[in-house]
A and B are shown apart, each in its own frame.
Chain A
């Protein structure tokens, strides 16, 4: 993956597959570090699956016997001196089921993959977001915070789909202006 924002897009697909109704994407950035956390209330995974998902030769899909999403994300974090943690509660065990995946990156490392175009990742996610699933996104930077909340947007849109091209363009422009403000304050 050329950008961490692509890893985020890939990891969030797992939450969608898990049937999550709420997905939280949280980016916490300082001058030296970046922490990316994705929290969902999807079906979760049992202990055995959690142990296996970082193995590139483990996958649930049927088309191929490799699964590189989480291994790529883990590698990207570890090569900067950071790491990945994964916690999951399966639906069979508790009503409070879901998964939290969190990765820490050291931005000062020469092997740090740039975060890249997060706005584009969010537009892609919103474009394909099923009804009944909401995303909240927060990116805290040293100069300010950038955020997006699809539930809030749906409430304003009253039935006009989030995937409407005009809405996607609006999100793109809105995030661009939020980022410009947060970065200017630094």
Chain B
């Protein structure tokens, strides 16, 4: 680590916001990060999701987390979106570009990107 002072500044900026955030984020975005996911390109997808959630200002209502093998390795990278009271949405064959659209239209806009979901993807 080089600049711990810089990190201390982040703490000061974030301290208030974090308290607010707890318990509020209801949408869970889950990325499959087992060998199959990683080999298929899940790392840039996850990083794009984390970045976009922050950039598009939806970090108060959505969290990004990682999981193991979801069981559909041929469809990796797989991203699942869990919303309270709604059915789970499964996005398959994800890319960082698709991730940007999912955050904008689904997480921010509330409308799943149907063409990227498992039922609508031709393998």
Contacts and interface: CB of A to CB of B under 8 A. Distances in A.
A169 B51 CA distance: 8
A168 B50 contact: yes
A161 B18 contact: yes
Nearest to B44: A120
B14 interface: yes
A123 B47 contact: yes
B34 interface: yes
Nearest to B73: A64
Interface residues of B, number: 36
Closest 3 CB pairs of A and B: A165-B54, A63-B71, A128-B66
A13 B18 contact: no
* B interface majority secondary structure: helix
A160 B51 contact: no
A153 interface: yes
Contacts of B47: 120, 123-124
Interface in B45-75: 46-47, 50-51, 53-54, 59, 64-66, 68-71, 73
B122 interface: no
A17 B50 CA distance: 22
Given A1-B39, A124-B46, A156 B54 contact: no
Interface stretch (B4-12, B83-91, B100-108): B4-12
Contacts of A120: 43-44, 47
B78 to A, nearest CB: 12
A166 interface: yes
B59 to A, nearest CB: 6
Contacts of B13: 166
5 contacts: A68-B39, A124-B46, A149-B1, A177-B2, A178-B2
Contact of A164 (B3, B18, B65, B69): B18
* A interface majority secondary structure: helix
Given A13-B34, A167-B10, A124 B4 contact: no
A165 B39 contact: no
A99 interface: no
A128 B38 contact: no
B35 interface: yes
B79 interface: no
Given A9-B43, A157-B10, A170-B7, 7 more contacts: A9-B38, A17-B68, A156-B8, A158-B15, A160-B18, A165-B50, A166-B13
B94 interface: no
B43 A157 contact: no
Contacts of A158: 11, 15
B1 to A, nearest CB: 6
B92 interface: no
Given A123-B47, A128-B33, A165 B53 contact: yes
